[in-house]
């Protein structure tokens, strides 16, 4: 059944709400969980569901995403499996960049239609979840639907941030509204007893769709001025076609801004995290790096995730995600942080030379204090640096860092001189 499915992962727009993490990379290329990239999540969900043919559509800062996918997803020469990038391209017929989710798929259809498939699975590249798409596909086929939309029950508080759907007793969607601010009581749905007890009585669209091949072709060609699935294509289709609500009740979060990104990552340090990285049935695939094991000396660790290749001499690290190749100096304390690590190691000769010149080394120096912060890749944090985020800080974008919702984000590759205090 899954051999009849083609996956399309939407890379998203400019990703301004995730800035400065998206200043030099696309949203799907943003590091997550210490050793992964955001794009690994939908790709892994597809592979675990038996879907092995995928396109990733992108147009902003796609170089690092291209490199990651090229270095990661290799399949047998005797297999039809692939993960390919489709970057926005200007053609005589389409001189503009992607104007929305539907427009992105429409502009790439001449590439997509070169492959044999009956169903197309459209996914977002900036969500954290573990889902078996085979169950959704099965429901789509059994209900003879034209479109299936994955939905998740949410509370009234969260409903105002999503597209909300109303479905009948056969789970067919009858109406849709985008981010309702008033009249919420009209959008209450029967989401089941358990969800109802938790107050999750509104069906929110997860931005995950299954289309029948020919139906997608028809609906994209009927009104070419419609650029977006959620705002234009789907509301129109609901009025005259069979659109199924496939209710999902597992963990799912949209990585839309710095606050949600930070919360999702630190949630991975919980004793029983909602997103289970240790579930062998839902393996998260990523680039296989030949790195040494991590080395930790004299450090008290509490709720901390540490990948390979780290050298840690800090005094205490708590409620923190470390990235690959992290170097953290002596007597440093880190709490509530995501330290993304480095793309390479400095050589012993470089370390000796930089030390003699009094310059900061890659990583985090000695006697530092870091709290409520994200340190992007390849940063040099000198000795005795204090970075203390919190509600006391107003939002702002500065040369070396930005502040979003009290979270200090140190920009990629910057050098923070020793003794600097931020926050």
What pLDDT shows up at residue 15?
Answer: 67
Residues 28, 85: contact at Cβ < 8 Å?
no
Q: What is the pLDDT tens value at each position of the chain, 423 positions in all?
A: 788 999 999 886 666 789 999 988 888 899 999 999 999 999 999 999 999 999 998 876 678 888 899 899 988 888 889 998 887 665 556 656 666 788 788 887 888 888 899 999 999 988 999 999 999 999 999 999 999 999 999 998 888 888 899 988 889 999 988 888 777 888 888 888 888 888 899 999 999 999 999 999 998 888 777 788 877 888 888 988 999 999 998 999 989 899 999 999 999 999 999 999 998 889 999 999 999 999 999 999 999 999 999 999 999 999 999 999 999 999 999 999 999 999 999 999 999 999 898 899 999 999 999 999 999 999 999 999 999 999 999 999 999 999 999 999 999 999 999 999 998
Pick from 176, 177, 76, 61: which is nearest to 125 by CA?
61
Do 289-422 and 2-269 have the same topology in CATH? no
Question: What's the confidence (pLDDT) of residue 91?
Answer: 59
Q: What pLDDT score does 59 carry?
A: 73
Contact indicator for 174, 167 with CB cutoff of 8 Å:
yes
The fold adopted by the segment(s) 289-422 is UDP N-Acetylglucosamine Acyltransferase; domain 1 (2.160.10)
Task: Give the chain's radius of gyration (CA, Å).
Answer: 23
* pLDDT at position 78: 83
pTM: 0.93
Q: Quick one: pLDDT at residue 242?
A: 94
Q: What is the pLDDT of residue 411?
A: 97
φ, ψ at 263 (rounded to 5°): -65, -40
DSSP labels for 107-171? HHHHHHTTS--SEEEEEESSEEE---HHHHHHHHHHTT-SEEEEEEEE-HHHHTTSEEEEE-TT-
- Report d(CA 6, CA 417) in Å as an integer: 49
Please give the Cα distance from 256 to 282 (Å, whole number): 23
Question: What is the topology classification, in CATH, of domain 2-269?
Answer: Spore Coat Polysaccharide Biosynthesis Protein SpsA; Chain A (3.90.550)
The residue extents of the domains of the chain are 2-269, 289-422
Interatomic CA distance for residues 179 and 182, integer angstroms: 9
φ and ψ of 172, to 5 deg: -90, 135
By percentage, how much of the chain surpasses pLDDT 90? 62
Q: For residue 416, give the DSSP letter.
A: E
Q: Taking the alpha carbons of 149, 153, 156, 160 in that order, is the dihedral positive or negative?
A: negative
CA–CA separation, 4 vs 116, rounded Å? 7
Are 345 and 326 in contact by the 8 Å Cβ rule? The answer is no
């Amino acid at each position: 059944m899954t051999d009849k499915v083609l996956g399309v992962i939407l890379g998203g727009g400019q990703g301004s709400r995730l800035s400065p993490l998206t200043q030099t990379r696309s949203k799907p290329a943003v590091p997550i969980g210490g050793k992964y990239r955001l794009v690994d999540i939908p790709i892994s969900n597809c592979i675990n569901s038996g879907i092995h043919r995928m396109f990733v559509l992108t147009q902003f800062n796609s170089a690092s995403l291209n490199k990651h996918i090229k270095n990661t997803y290799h399949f047998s020469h005797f297999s039809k499996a692939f993960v390919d990038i489709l970057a926005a391209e200007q053609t005589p017929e389409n001189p503009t960049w992607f104007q929305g989710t539907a427009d992105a798929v429409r502009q790439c259809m001449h590439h997509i239609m070169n492959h044999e498939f009956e169903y197309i699975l459209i996914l977002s590249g900036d969500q954290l979840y573990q889902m078996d798409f085979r169950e959704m596909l099965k429901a789509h086929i059994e209900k003879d639907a034209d479109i299936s939309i994955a939905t998740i029950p949410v509370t009234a508080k969260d409903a105002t941030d999503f597209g909300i759907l109303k479905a009948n007793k056969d789970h067919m969607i009858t109406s849709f509204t985008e981010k309702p601010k008033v009249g919420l009581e009209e959008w209450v749905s029967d989401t089941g007893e358990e969800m109802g007890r938790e107050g999750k009585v509104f069906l929110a669209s997860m931005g995950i769709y299954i289309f029948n091949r020919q139906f997608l072709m028809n609906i994209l060609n009927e009104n070419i001025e419609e650029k977006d699935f959620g705002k234009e294509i789907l509301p129109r289709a609901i009025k005259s076609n069979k659109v199924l609500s496939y209710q999902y009740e597992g963990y799912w979060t949209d990585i839309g801004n710095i606050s949600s990104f930070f919360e999702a990552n630190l949630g991975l340090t919980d004793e029983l995290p909602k997103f289970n990285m240790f579930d062998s049935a839902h393996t998260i695939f990523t680039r296989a790096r030949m790195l040494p094991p991590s080395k930790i000396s004299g450090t008290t660790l509490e709720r901390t995730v540490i990948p390979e290749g780290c050298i840690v001499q800090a005094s205490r690290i708590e409620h923190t995600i470390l990235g690959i190749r992290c170097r953290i100096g002596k007597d440093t304390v880190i709490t509530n942080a995501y330290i993304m690590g480095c793309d390479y190691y400095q050589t012993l000769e470089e370390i000796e030379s930089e030390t003699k010149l009094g310059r900061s080394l890659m990583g985090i120096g000695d006697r530092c204090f870091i709290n409520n912060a994200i340190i992007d890749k390849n940063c040099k944090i000198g000795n005795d640096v204090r970075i203390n985020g919190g509600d006391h800080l107003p939002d702002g974008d500065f040369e070396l860092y930005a502040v979003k919702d009290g979270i200090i984000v140190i920009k990629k590759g910057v050098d923070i001189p020793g003794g600097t205090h931020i926050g």
